[in-house]
Protein backbone atom coordinates (compact mmCIF):
# COMPACT_ATOMS: atom_id res chain seq x y z
CA UNK A 1 0.00 0.00 0.00
CA UNK A 2 1.11 3.55 -0.73
CA UNK A 3 0.20 6.37 1.64
CA UNK A 4 0.90 9.93 0.52
CA UNK A 5 0.30 13.21 2.28
CA UNK A 6 0.04 16.30 0.11
CA UNK A 7 0.50 19.35 2.30
CA UNK A 8 0.68 23.08 1.72
CA UNK A 9 3.79 24.78 3.07
CA UNK A 10 7.07 23.73 4.61
CA UNK A 11 7.44 22.23 8.04
CA UNK A 12 9.81 24.41 10.04
CA UNK A 13 9.44 23.21 13.62
CA UNK A 14 12.05 20.63 14.57
CA UNK A 15 9.80 18.91 17.11
CA UNK A 16 7.08 18.30 14.50
CA UNK A 17 9.67 16.99 12.06
CA UNK A 18 11.00 14.57 14.69
CA UNK A 19 7.54 13.26 15.58
CA UNK A 20 6.54 12.79 11.95
CA UNK A 21 9.86 11.08 11.18
CA UNK A 22 9.28 8.61 14.02
CA UNK A 23 5.85 7.59 12.73
CA UNK A 24 7.09 7.53 9.13
CA UNK A 25 9.78 5.06 10.23
CA UNK A 26 7.20 2.91 12.01
CA UNK A 27 4.95 2.93 8.94
CA UNK A 28 7.64 1.30 6.77
CA UNK A 29 6.45 -2.09 8.11
CA UNK A 30 3.05 -1.52 6.55
CA UNK A 31 3.30 0.79 3.54
CA UNK A 32 5.35 3.12 1.43
CA UNK A 33 4.86 6.55 3.02
CA UNK A 34 5.66 9.88 1.40
CA UNK A 35 4.99 13.52 2.11
CA UNK A 36 4.74 15.96 -0.79
CA UNK A 37 4.97 19.62 0.14
CA UNK A 38 3.58 22.22 -2.25
CA UNK A 39 4.42 25.91 -1.80
CA UNK A 40 1.95 28.06 0.03
CA UNK A 41 0.77 31.19 -1.70
CA UNK A 42 2.19 34.33 -0.14
CA UNK A 43 -0.62 36.57 1.02
CA UNK A 44 -1.03 39.62 3.28
CA UNK A 45 -2.73 39.25 6.67
CA UNK A 46 -6.03 40.83 5.65
CA UNK A 47 -7.52 39.51 2.43
CA UNK A 48 -10.78 40.17 0.66
CA UNK A 49 -13.00 37.17 -0.09
CA UNK A 50 -11.88 37.32 -3.73
CA UNK A 51 -8.19 37.32 -2.71
CA UNK A 52 -8.79 34.38 -0.34
CA UNK A 53 -10.44 32.44 -3.15
CA UNK A 54 -7.51 33.21 -5.44
CA UNK A 55 -4.98 31.98 -2.85
CA UNK A 56 -6.92 28.73 -2.30
CA UNK A 57 -7.29 28.26 -6.06
CA UNK A 58 -3.54 28.62 -6.69
CA UNK A 59 -2.66 26.27 -3.82
CA UNK A 60 -5.38 23.91 -5.08
CA UNK A 61 -3.84 23.75 -8.55
CA UNK A 62 -0.49 22.80 -6.99
CA UNK A 63 -2.19 20.08 -4.95
CA UNK A 64 -4.14 18.67 -7.89
CA UNK A 65 -0.94 18.49 -9.95
CA UNK A 66 0.38 15.95 -7.41
CA UNK A 67 -2.67 13.64 -7.50
CA UNK A 68 -2.88 10.75 -9.97
CA UNK A 69 -6.19 9.43 -11.29
CA UNK A 70 -5.91 6.08 -9.48
CA UNK A 71 -5.38 7.62 -6.05
CA UNK A 72 -8.13 7.48 -3.44
CA UNK A 73 -8.10 10.95 -1.91
CA UNK A 74 -9.05 12.07 1.58
CA UNK A 75 -9.34 15.80 2.12
CA UNK A 76 -8.98 17.06 5.68
CA UNK A 77 -11.78 19.50 6.37
CA UNK A 78 -13.43 20.84 9.50
CA UNK A 79 -16.80 19.94 7.99
CA UNK A 80 -15.65 16.48 6.88
CA UNK A 81 -16.91 13.25 8.43
CA UNK A 82 -15.57 12.42 11.87
CA UNK A 83 -14.49 8.82 12.44
CA UNK A 84 -13.28 6.88 15.43
CA UNK A 85 -9.82 5.31 15.17
CA UNK A 86 -11.48 1.90 14.76
CA UNK A 87 -13.75 3.15 11.96
CA UNK A 88 -10.79 4.73 10.21
CA UNK A 89 -8.79 1.51 10.49
CA UNK A 90 -11.67 -0.52 9.06
CA UNK A 91 -12.07 1.96 6.19
CA UNK A 92 -8.38 1.73 5.27
CA UNK A 93 -8.52 -2.06 5.45
CA UNK A 94 -11.61 -2.18 3.20
CA UNK A 95 -10.08 0.21 0.68
CA UNK A 96 -7.01 -2.02 0.42
CA UNK A 97 -9.20 -5.12 0.08
CA UNK A 98 -11.14 -3.57 -2.78
CA UNK A 99 -8.14 -2.46 -4.81
CA UNK A 100 -7.39 1.03 -3.52
CA UNK A 101 -3.71 0.67 -2.71
CA UNK A 102 -2.83 4.34 -3.26
CA UNK A 103 -4.28 6.55 -0.52
CA UNK A 104 -3.63 10.27 -0.54
CA UNK A 105 -4.41 12.66 2.30
CA UNK A 106 -4.57 16.38 1.57
CA UNK A 107 -3.95 19.05 4.20
CA UNK A 108 -4.57 22.57 2.95
CA UNK A 109 -2.92 25.80 3.91
CA UNK A 110 -4.04 28.33 6.49
CA UNK A 111 -7.09 29.32 4.40
CA UNK A 112 -8.23 25.76 3.73
CA UNK A 113 -8.77 23.85 0.51
CA UNK A 114 -10.07 25.01 -2.84
CA UNK A 115 -13.47 23.77 -4.05
CA UNK A 116 -11.66 21.88 -6.84
CA UNK A 117 -9.60 19.88 -4.34
CA UNK A 118 -12.65 19.12 -2.21
CA UNK A 119 -14.50 17.98 -5.33
CA UNK A 120 -11.63 15.67 -6.34
CA UNK A 121 -11.57 14.04 -2.90
CA UNK A 122 -13.24 10.65 -2.58
CA UNK A 123 -13.79 11.21 1.14
CA UNK A 124 -13.70 14.16 3.51
CA UNK A 125 -12.32 13.58 6.97
CA UNK A 126 -12.46 15.73 10.08
CA UNK A 127 -10.64 15.50 13.36
CA UNK A 128 -13.30 17.64 15.01
CA UNK A 129 -14.31 21.26 14.84
CA UNK A 130 -11.12 22.56 16.39
CA UNK A 131 -8.90 24.64 14.16
CA UNK A 132 -5.40 23.17 14.35
CA UNK A 133 -2.20 24.45 12.77
CA UNK A 134 -1.59 22.47 9.59
CA UNK A 135 1.90 21.55 10.87
CA UNK A 136 0.36 19.89 13.94
CA UNK A 137 -2.29 18.24 11.76
CA UNK A 138 0.46 16.42 9.85
CA UNK A 139 1.67 14.85 13.09
CA UNK A 140 -1.83 13.96 14.28
CA UNK A 141 -2.72 12.43 10.90
CA UNK A 142 0.44 10.34 10.55
CA UNK A 143 -0.11 8.99 14.07
CA UNK A 144 -3.71 8.07 13.22
CA UNK A 145 -2.64 6.33 10.00
CA UNK A 146 -0.06 4.36 12.01
CA UNK A 147 -2.71 3.60 14.65
CA UNK A 148 -5.05 2.31 11.92
CA UNK A 149 -2.41 -0.14 10.69
CA UNK A 150 -1.72 -1.25 14.27
CA UNK A 151 -5.45 -1.81 14.93
CA UNK A 152 -5.72 -3.84 11.72
CA UNK A 153 -2.68 -5.88 12.78
CA UNK A 154 -4.33 -6.66 16.13
CA UNK A 155 -1.59 -4.87 18.02
CA UNK A 156 -2.03 -3.70 21.63
CA UNK A 157 -0.73 -0.22 20.58
CA UNK A 158 -4.30 1.08 20.42
CA UNK A 159 -5.20 0.10 24.00
- What pairs with residue 123 in β-bridges? 74
Q: Which of 103, 111, 113, 56 is nearest to 80 (CA)?
A: 113
Residue 108 annotated in ligand binding: yes
Q: How far is CA 106 from CA 63, 102, 110, 115, in A?
A: 8, 13, 13, 13
Q: DSSP E strands: which ranges in 9-122?
A: 32-38, 72-82, 102-107
- Cα–Cα distance measured from residue 92 to residue 156, given in angstroms and rounded to the nearest whole number: 18
Binding-site entries for S-adenosyl-L-methionine: 76, 108
* Residue list for the binding site: 76, 108
Amino acid sequence: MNIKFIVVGKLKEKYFKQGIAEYAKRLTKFCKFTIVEVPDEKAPESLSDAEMSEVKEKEGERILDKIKDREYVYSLEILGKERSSEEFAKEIDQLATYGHSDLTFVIGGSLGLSPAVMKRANAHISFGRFTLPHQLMRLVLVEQVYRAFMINAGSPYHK
